[in-house]
């Protein structure tokens, strides 16, 4: 499939919402990037809101048509996009990691997030809308955000948004091609290599209970696999535990 065609729009409530309508107009299956200069009601995981200053960050959604990806293995798309972003950001620092399931972190601060909405037809995923928000040139953030950081906070210089977007699209296309070519083992290895707090005992919270555990992997479905201090192996769904 061809590289992503970039469609720039000035302002939109959510690039994912825009992409859902735009995909209906496509007459052929092609990769499209909806890039917004301003997104005023961006969507994050589990109905969270993504706040972004106009023309300071990257807020875009990708329309992609996966090949032969079963609904039970849809998390591989999330992994592929996550490792692609990390691959590009390593030019700035080696301290970027993927916080499960697919937030992009610098040390213990959040620089970006991913929201993927898949449409299923028959046995396979028919299409994916991949929303990505990355803090790039924004210096300060709303105090309601718990732990934000931007690239300019890290490297102390602004980055050309257009050039960075093109770099990201090239790498994302490479990794999505790996998904289509069933190179899942390779993607999984990259994901685990770059996973925040992998193989380290850290504190987590489930409900009112605080416990210590070590992330050792993920299920094909995306469930987090963790080893507890007593040696028990537990699996957790999205939003089931909180990183402390």
Q: Collapsing DSSP states into helix, strand and coil, what is residue 7?
A: strand
Sheet holding 103-106, edge to edge: 5-12, 32-39, 58-64, 124-134, 109-121, 103-106, 96-99
Q: Where in the chain is the domain with CATH 2.30.30?
A: 201-243
Instruction: Please give the helix or strand (H or E) that residue 243 lies within, else none.
Output: strand 242-243
Q: Where in the chain is the domain with CATH 3.30.930.10?
A: 5-193
% pLDDT > 70, the chain: 95
pLDDT in the model for residue 232: 97
pLDDT in the model for residue 1: 63
% pLDDT > 90, the chain: 84
pLDDT in the model for residue 41: 60
Q: Judge contact between 125 and 48, C-beta under 8 A.
A: no
Quote the crossing angle between the two packed helices 75-89 and 161-180, to the nearest 10°: 140
Residue in 228, 156, 225 with CA at minimum distance from that of residue 237: 225
Q: Is the pLDDT of residue 45 over 60?
A: no
Residue 40's pLDDT band (boundaries 50, 70, 90)? confident
Residue range 65-77: average pLDDT? 94
* CATH, domain 201-243, list 2.40.160, 2.30.30, 3.30.1490, 1.20.1440: 2.30.30
Contacts of 52 (CB under 8 A, 6+ apart): 38, 39, 42, 59, 133, 135, 138
Q: Judge contact between 133 and 44, C-beta under 8 A.
A: yes
Q: Judge contact between 95 and 107, C-beta under 8 A.
A: yes
pLDDT in the model for residue 47: 45
Q: Which of 23-37, 48-62, 87-101, 220-234 has the lowest mean pLDDT?
A: 48-62
Question: What CATH number has the domain spanning 5-193?
Answer: 3.30.930.10
Residue 145's pLDDT band (boundaries 50, 70, 90)? confident
pLDDT in the model for residue 55: 86
């Amino acid at each position: 499939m061809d590289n992503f065609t970039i469609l720039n729009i000035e302002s939109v409530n959510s690039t994912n919402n825009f992409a859902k309508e735009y995909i209906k107009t496509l007459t052929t299956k092609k990769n499209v990037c909806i890039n917004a200069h301003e997104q005023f009601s961006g969507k994050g995981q589990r109905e969270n809101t993504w706040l972004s200053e106009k023309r300071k960050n990257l807020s875009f959604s990708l329309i992609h048509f996966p090949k032969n990806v079963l609904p039970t293995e849809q998390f591989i798309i999330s992994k592929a996009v996550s490792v692609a972003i990390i691959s590009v950001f390593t030019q700035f620092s080696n301290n970027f990691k993927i916080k499960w399931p697919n937030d992009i972190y610098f040390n213990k601060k959040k620089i970006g997030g991913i929201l993927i909405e898949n449409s299923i037809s028959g046995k396979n995923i028919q299409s994916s809308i991949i929303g990505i928000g990355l803090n790039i040139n924004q210096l300060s953030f709303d105090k309601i955000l718990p732990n934000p950081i931007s690239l300019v906070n890290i490297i102390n210089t602004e980055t050309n948004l257009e050039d960075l977007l093109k770099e990201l699209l090239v790498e994302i296309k490479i990794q999505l091609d790996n998904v289509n070519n069933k190179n899942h083992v390779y993607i999984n290895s990259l994901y685990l290599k770059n996973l925040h707090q992998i193989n380290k005992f850290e504190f987590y919270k489930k409900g009112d209970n605080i416990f210590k555990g070590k992330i050792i992997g993920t299920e094909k479905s995306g469930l987090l696999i963790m080893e507890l201090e007593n040696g028990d192996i537990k699996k957790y769904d999205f939003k089931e535990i909180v990183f402390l």
